[in-house]
């Protein structure tokens, strides 16, 4: 079966760095997405990785290792507004998105 | 770019009535749109995949006669919840997949529709 694993919840301190991991097992691979979802709102697109390596976009970076079936989202200089759920999703061989359950990130002052 | 709108944002209806939700891609053409449902504190659940000009593909356990999907154009898909019941109360979110050079597969989400059935 297809499976996306990410931690249920993480806590970090304002100004610090946090890494949210995602491991996957899917039938085929056409890229991995990270989305941010604030409570009561729809997800917003953060990043897309299809090749191995690190993609940096401001305070957020996303890493992919296809051989390990592993990705992480790195958030630097955490702000209170970063408190949200972070969803990892993999596009399989049928170009369908397989969603993880999301990681709820709690930022403390 | 890649803006998706959804209307209405919130609806309250009586049990037994039907509710239509519209999803529009405002600045791009979307051959494929997706409908999700999300209950409080739970993850997104894909309900159906909607392709322009063809019948929607429903996920297992989703009743196609209850959740009618129409994708009449490259910028509009509608979801109609027929004979809504309180258990249908949820957050319904649509997304549209961009089909453009260099951006294959990214789904952009509408703001969601919160449905409350009394």
- DSSP for residue B87: G
pLDDT for the residue B54: 83
CB A84 within 8 A of CB A37: yes
In chain A, which residues have their Cβ closer than 8 Å to the Cβ of B49? 96
CB A95 within 8 A of CB A66: no
Kindly give the confidence (pLDDT) of every residue in chain A, 109 residues in length, as a single tens digit, with 9 standing for 90 and above: 789 999 999 999 999 999 999 999 999 999 999 999 999 899 999 999 999 999 999 999 999 999 999 999 999 999 999 999 999 999 988 878 889 999 999 999 9
pLDDT for B94 beyond 90? yes
pLDDT bracket for residue B43 (50, 70, 90): confident
Decide if A86 touches B, using CB distance below 8 A: no
Task: Look at B106 and A44 and tell me if their CB atoms are within 8 Å.
Answer: no
What residue of B is the nearest CA neighbor of A34? B106
How many Å apart are CA A89 and CA A76, to the nearest integer?
A: 21
Decide if B44 touches A, using CB distance below 8 A: yes
């Amino acid at each position: 079966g297809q499976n996306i694993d990410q931690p249920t919840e993480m806590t970090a301190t304002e100004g610090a760095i946090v890494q949210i991991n995602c491991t996957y097992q899917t039938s085929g691979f056409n890229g991995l997405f990270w989305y941010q979802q604030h409570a009561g709102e729809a997800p917003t697109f953060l990043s897309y990785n299809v090749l191995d390596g690190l993609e940096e976009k401001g305070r957020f970076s996303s890493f992919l290792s296809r051989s390990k079936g592993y990705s992480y989202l790195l958030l630097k200089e955490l702000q209170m507004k970063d408190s949200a759920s972070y969803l990892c999703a993999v596009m399989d061989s049928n170009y369908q998105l397989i969603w993880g359950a999301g990681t709820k990130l709690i930022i403390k002052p | 770019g890649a803006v998706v709108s959804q209307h209405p944002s919130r609806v309250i209806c009586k049990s037994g009535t039907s509710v239509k939700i519209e999803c529009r891609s405002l600045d791009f053409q979307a051959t494929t749109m997706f409908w999700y449902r999300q209950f409080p504190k739970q993850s997104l659940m894909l309900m159906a995949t909607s392709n322009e000009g063809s019948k929607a593909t429903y996920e297992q356990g989703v009743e196609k006669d209850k959740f009618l999907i129409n994708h009449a154009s490259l910028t509009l898909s509608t979801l109609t919840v027929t004979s809504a019941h309180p258990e249908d109360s949820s957050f319904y979110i649509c997304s549209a997949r961009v089909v453009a050079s260099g951006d294959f597969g990214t789904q952009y989400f509408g703001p969601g529709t919160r449905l409350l059935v009394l």
